[in-house]
C-alpha cells in the first residue's frame, strides 16, 4: 500500500471519527434542549396558576413583570354556602374531591368568559376581569360567567344528590371599580392580584347574598355597565362595614 493511499485511509478514518463524535454531541445537545424546553413549559404551566399566562410568558421571555398600575377592573367573589356543614359529616378526602370538582368547573367557565382566577380562599375564590388586558365587555363577561357558574353548580348538585349528599349553594358578588393591579409577593410566593376599596366592596356584596336570599348580586356600578338584556332585581339599600353610604345591589336573575 502506498504512502498516499495509507494517508488517505487515515484521513477518512479521522473524518469518520470526528463526524461520529459531532453527531453524538449534537444528539446530546438536542436532548438537553428538549429537556430544557419541557422544563420551561412545566414551569410556565405551574406559574400560570399564580398569574395570567400573558404575564408568565413575558417573564419567561426575559422581560420584567409588568409594573403595578391603576385599572378599572371587574371583581367577582364567589363563596360556597353549606360546605362547612358538609365537612362535618363527610370524609376529608371525599370533601376535597367535591371542592376540587367545583373549583375546576368554576375555573373553566371563568376562563371561558375572559376571567382570571386570582386566588382560592378556603371554599371561595376571587376572579378578575380586565385586570391584565383592557376589556370593554368585562362587566358582561363577569355576569355571564356568574350565570354559567350557577348552571355548573346545579349540574354538580345533581351528581351530589345521586350520591346522597345535600346540595351546595353559592354566593357571588360582582363589582366594577378602580384598583391597583400587579404582581405581588416575595421569592417564595407570588401572585397577580388587585388592591383597593373596590375589592373590599365586592367581598361585602358577596356576603350580602345571604342577607338578601339570592345567589348573585351586582352593584350599581355594574348595573350601569351591563347590557340591558340582563335581568336585574333591585335589593334594599344596605349598610356594609367599611363604607359610609348604604350599598344598593341588584340580584342577577338571568
Distance of alpha carbon 154 from alpha carbon 104, whole angstroms: 14
8 A C-beta contact, residue 171 and residue 206: yes
Q: What is the mean pLDDT of residues 48-69?
A: 53
Segments making up each domain of the chain, as ranges? 1-47, 66-252
Longest dimension (CA), the chain: 108
Q: What is the mean pLDDT of residues 81-89?
A: 69
pLDDT in tens, 63-81: 545 567 788 899 999 988 8
Pairing of strands 169-185, 249-252: unpaired
Second CATH level (architecture) for the domain 66-252: 2-Layer Sandwich (3.30)
Q: How confident is the model at residue 87 (pLDDT cuts 50, 70, 90)?
A: low
Confidence (pTM): 0.73
Match 438537553 to its residue by C-alpha cell: 32
For 177, phi then psi, to 5°, come to -175, 180
pLDDT in tens, 208-241: 999 889 999 999 999 999 999 999 999 898 888 8
Distance of alpha carbon 233 from alpha carbon 236, whole angstroms: 10
Those residues with Cβ within 8 angstroms of residue 225's Cβ, 6 or more apart along the chain or in another chain: 139, 140, 176
User: Which of 8-12, 56-60, 102-106 has maximum average pLDDT?
Assistant: 102-106
Amino acid at each position: 500500500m502506498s504512502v498516499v493511499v495509507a494517508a488517505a485511509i487515515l484521513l477518512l478514518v479521522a473524518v469518520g471519527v470526528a463526524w461520529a463524535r459531532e453527531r453524538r454531541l449534537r444528539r446530546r445537545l438536542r436532548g438537553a434542549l428538549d429537556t430544557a424546553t419541557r422544563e420551561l413549559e412545566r414551569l410556565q404551566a405551574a406559574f400560570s396558576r399564580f398569574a395570567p399566562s400573558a404575564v408568565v410568558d413575558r417573564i419567561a421571555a426575559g422581560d420584567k413583570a409588568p409594573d403595578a398600575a391603576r385599572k378599572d377592573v371587574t371583581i367577582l367573589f364567589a363563596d360556597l354556602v353549606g360546605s362547612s356543614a358538609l365537612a362535618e359529616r363527610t370524609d376529608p378526602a371525599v370533601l376535597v374531591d367535591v371542592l376540587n370538582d367545583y373549583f375546576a368547573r368554576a375555573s373553566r367557565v371563568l376562563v371561558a368568559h375572559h376571567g382570571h382566577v386570582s386566588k382560592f380562599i378556603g371554599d371561595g375564590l376571587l376572579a378578575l376581569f380586565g385586570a391584565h388586558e383592557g376589556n370593554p365587555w368585562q362587566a358582561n363577561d363577569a355576569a355571564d360567567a356568574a350565570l354559567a357558574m350557577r348552571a355548573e353548580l346545579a349540574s354538580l348538585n345533581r351528581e351530589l344528590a345521586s350520591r346522597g349528599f345535600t346540595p351546595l349553594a353559592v354566593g357571588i358578588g360582582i363589582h366594577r371599580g378602580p384598583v391597583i393591579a400587579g404582581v405581588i409577593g416575595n421569592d417564595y410566593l407570588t401572585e397577580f392580584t388587585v388592591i383597593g376599596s373596590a375589592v373590599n366592596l365586592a367581598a361585602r356584596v358577596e356576603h350580602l347574598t345571604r342577607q338578601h336570599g339570592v345567589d348573585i348580586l351586582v352593584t350599581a356600578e355594574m348595573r350601569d355597565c351591563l347590557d340591558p338584556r340582563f335581568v336585574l332585581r333591585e335589593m334594599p339599600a344596605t349598610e356594609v362595614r367599611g363604607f359610609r353610604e348604604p350599598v344598593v345591589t341588584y340580584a342577577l336573575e338571568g
